[in-house]
Structure 1
Amino acid sequence: MPASDIAFTPAVKAAQAERGSRAMYARVEARGGFRTRITPDLVAFLGEVDTAYLATANATGQPYVQHRGGPKGFIRVVDEGTLGFADFSGNRQYVTLGNLSENRKAFLFLMDYAHRRRIKIWGELEAVEDDPALLARLMPEGYDARPERALLFRVRAWDINCPQHIPQKIDAPLVAAALQARDDRIAALEAEVADLRARLDAGADRAGKDGDHAG
């Protein structure tokens, strides 16, 4: 069974066939479907991620999507098939935790707006309580947040989407850094121009005095 079957159920395949895309995705399945192991390119992507959307569902199938954020790289690789991140203290609704008590299937949706990339990851999620060593391993260094537990995401399949329809957005710190670099460059050029003008003025003054002496 190809890994893509985790998303391409019979109902999904029927919809693809009806709308003309089944043959294309059948070729994807023939090549093995979605990836199932954490690869270096996924690791590199995770290293730049500071925001994610975590989806779970309760026993009746009611979905819930929760934003997860932290410093870049807050989602870490535990082993070749497992991701992990600290569960920071928040609004204490605990909808995700309640869903996990009934249904451990979960989904991570990762966006990179700056480079117009997105990654989808299917798997199972486990909340790990009272494991200080694991929590210390997953807690971002110097991040001002209180971790309550560790979350382990066991990857079953993942895929990269095309950039179509993804708007390009740049994070505020990156924009601020670019503007600061521009302002610093402008200041340096203005100082250089002022220095050149001062030298020219000094040269003109010397030339004028030399002319007076000559006369």
Structure 2
Amino acid sequence: MGTIDTHEALREIIGEAAERTQQKIIGHLDEHARNLIGHSPFVLLATAAPDGSCDVSPRGDPAGSVLVLDEKTLVLADRPGNKLADSFRNIVDNPHAGLLFLVPGMNETLRVNGRAKLVSDAPYFDSLVVKGKRPKLAVVVEVEQVYMHCAKAFLRSSLWDPATWPDRATLPTLGTILRDQMDLPIPAAELDASLDHRSLTEQY
């Protein structure tokens, strides 16, 4: 099978990271990191349970909604969702978290790793209000590592190039997927209408 189960075997195949690559990892949010976070409307939050099971959750808000309190602390507001709370349950049990900030049209991404905690109120919650809605929870991340991720993944995928995007009509709707996966006795069109309504009316 060629399974790689040691660091040594891994390095034998991929080699060591260049010294310059290792040096790019810093321990604080510098002016460039703050600038990118301020322009990012979309971030992926990665967490893990004590047993090692992982979760990655997409978080979206208008650019500038993620607060940078200082060079070691940032805050993400929680918005209404499915209430499974996978990320939050993980954070309660295991504070280690990773974030990947995307800026539309930019091929490079910003990676931030640190320790997260949940907060139900704080003076800065007033700054997390969007469309008149104040969040009930926020994720506060104590920053430990900050670094830029190169453009290769986005260049390989042509993510921002509309010419490479599939025709949405060739893909199933969310209603169709949920109907089939959950074996629901409801027409897909009816599910889609309900989901669209909730998406538009329950964003905040």
TM-score, normalised with respect to structure 2: 0.68
Structure 1, residues 68-110: CA drift from partner, whole Å, max 9, x if none?
0100011110111011121112211111111112100000012
Q: How many residues align?
A: 155
Q: Would you say the 8 A contact 1:83–1:152 is kept in 2?
A: yes
Aligned pairs for 1:136-155 within 5 A: 136-137=126-127, 139-140=128-129, 142-143=130-131, 145-155=133-143
Q: Would you say the 8 A contact 1:105–1:124 is kept in 2?
A: yes
Q: Shift of the alpha carbon at 1:168?
A: 4.6
Which residue is equivalent to 1:128?
Answer: 119
Where 1:47 maps in the other structure, the secondary structure is helix
Which residue is equivalent to 1:93?
Answer: 84
Instruction: Determine if the alignment matches structure 1 residue 17 to structure 2 residue 20.
Output: no
Q: Shift of the alpha carbon at 1:148?
A: 1.4
Quick check: which one's helix share is greater? Answer: 1
Q: How much identity, in percent, do the aligned residues show?
A: 23
Q: 1:16 to 1:27 in 2, by over 3 A?
A: farther
Structure with bigger gyration radius: 1
Which residue is equivalent to 1:81?
Answer: 72
Q: Structure 2 CA distance, aligned partners of 1:21 and 1:71?
A: 40
Structure 2 stretches lacking a partner, 5+ long: 1-5, 163-204
Structure 1, residues 145-178: CA drift from partner, whole Å, max 9, x if none?
451112111110011111113025279xxxxxxx
Q: Shift of the alpha carbon at 1:19?
A: 2.2
Which residue is equivalent to 2:48?
Answer: 57
Structure 1 stretches lacking a partner, 5+ long: 1-10, 172-215
Q: Shift of the alpha carbon at 1:116?
A: 1.0
Q: CA RMSD in A?
A: 2.4
Q: Structure 1 CA distance, aligned partners of 2:97 and 2:14?
A: 29
Q: Structure 1 CA distance, aligned partners of 2:14 and 2:20?
A: 13
